[in-house]
Amino acid sequence: MTGTTSTFRPAETRKRVVKNGITHLFVPGPTNVPEDVRQALNVPMQDMRAPDFGDLTLGLFSDLKKVFKTETGRVIMFPGSGTGAWEAAITNTLSPGDKVLMARFGQFSSLWVEMAERLGLDVEVVDVAWGAGTPVAEFARRLQDDTRGRIKAVFVTHNETATGVTSDVAAVRRALNEAYHDALLFVDGVSSVASIDFRMDEWGVDLAVAGSQKGLMLPAGLGILAVSEKGLEASKSATSRRAYFRFEDMLGMNETGYFPYTPPTQLLIGLRTSLDRLFAEGLENVFARHHRLAEGVRRGVAAWGYNLVAEAPCWYSDTVSAIRVPQDVDAREVIATAYNKYRTSLGTGLAQLAGKAFRIGHLGDLNEVMCLSALAAAEMALVDSGAKIELGSGVGAAQAWYCDAGNQAEHSIAAE
């Protein structure tokens, strides 16, 4: 056509870049989606008001309670992310000006503090070095001193994804009980639920947050919130404004398997397959697998002579390892090299860890050989970036662990 510019180029003039195999994903979320889950997502659009829609959703609500390990709580699924579920938890159970106790020891615990402040809460923050976790002793002291019960909620980031640190939720519950304190207990379980042990009822958790894109092995798009009876009661008197995230609207329609607004139906169908996978493996076996795989990665890192961001074994996460690099190595270069040269995505160092650390996510649909490939790609990218490590050292240390741990697991199964 006269007067127009075409961007079409004949096939022989277009450069074609061929990339064989897959790009390996070792960020701590979103995680790998298993093939059967991915196929389950590939369905035509469906009627969310159909008479049989509840046949799918009611089972999801009841089975998610098993994942959170709660018999008395209620599970709510919001279209959104874990961040949306954070907001839902706060606005439904607390009022502007309420005093809450929080700790800041990584990027995501810091973002939770920021949200609480934005929503008008009076946040009492305990700052902790990045590499440690929830300061239970300090929380206990402040709860003991709060004789007038001004603290309305205590927040715990169960697994700080930025630093690879897992906190002791049960210990925080003991601190609350020993202080005879009635504060609500909020827990961010986004990178722990369905990957490492989570016991909502036993730990007395009132609001537990999860997301679809981590241990549940789905694309992002579902913010999942488990609420105790105490949390539901608090929602009746809380005065924070809420509309989309209002508990009453969701729970009223969830009773019959429906939603007050359009749900992400494909994700719900995929969730059915993900839950079936978790239960077929057995939750306790899922937790044991995550520990076994994580320990192999940790041994590989130790063989390089490197340290984790987590300061001590008591803090080590079984879902993500944040790895410090030497001062003469830029972690950003390591990450870029792994991606561009070896088609492997490693997690970046966030905020104050930018350039100083990279992360290997080891959660969700994962096995030993996948973890070995993560270590192998990281080793090559490290050497390319100037690190003085021996190629194969980390992989070999992890292999030795996986062989030994695998043999122990086989003997255990045989004994049963």
Structure tokens at 49: 């008001």
Q: How far apart are CA 202 and CA 208, in angstroms?
A: 13
264: its two tokens? 């992400």
Q: Note the CATH architecture for domain 35-279.
A: 3-Layer(aba) Sandwich (3.40)
- Helices 368-384 and 331-342 sit at what angle, rounded to 10 degrees? 110
CA–CA dist 274, 268 (Å, integer): 10
R_g of the chain, CA atoms, integer Å = 23
Residue 61 phi, psi (nearest 5):
-60, -45
- Mean pLDDT per segment of 10 residues, for the chain of length 416 residues? 50 67 95 97 94 96 98 97 96 98 98 98 98 98 98 98 98 98 98 98 98 97 98 98 96 95 96 98 98 98 98 98 98 98 97 98 98 98 98 98 78 50
With CA atoms as reference, report the closest residue to 165 among 37, 308, 295, 282: 308
Confidence (pLDDT) at 254: 96
Q: Which residue has the tokens 């990339």?
A: 19
Place of tokens 């019960």: 149
SS3 label, residue 274: helix
What is the pTM assigned to this prediction?
Answer: 0.93
Token pair belonging to 229: 């009876």
Write down the pLDDT at residue 256. Answer: 94
Strand partners, 130: 132
Indicate the domain borders of the chain. 24-30+282-415, 35-279
Burial of 337 (0-12, 13-18, 19+ CB in 10 A): buried
Q: Read out DSSP for 340-407?
A: HHH-EEEEEPPGGGTTTEEEEE--SS--HHHHHHHHHHHHHHHHHTT----TTHHHHHHHHHHHHHHH
Tokens of 66: 């098993």
Residues 6+ apart with CB under 8 A from 207: 89, 93, 184, 185, 186, 187, 225, 226, 227, 228, 231
pLDDT value at residue 360: 98
Q: Could you tell me if 167 and 106 are in contact, meaning their C-beta atoms sit under 8 angstroms apart?
A: no
> How far is Cα 249 from Cα 86, in angstroms, rounded to an integer?
17
What architecture does CATH give domain 24-30+282-415? Alpha-Beta Complex (3.90)
Number of neighbouring beta carbons within 10 Å of residue 213: 22
How many angstroms separate the CA atoms of 354 and 123, rounded?
A: 27
122-127 and 221-227 strand pairing? unpaired
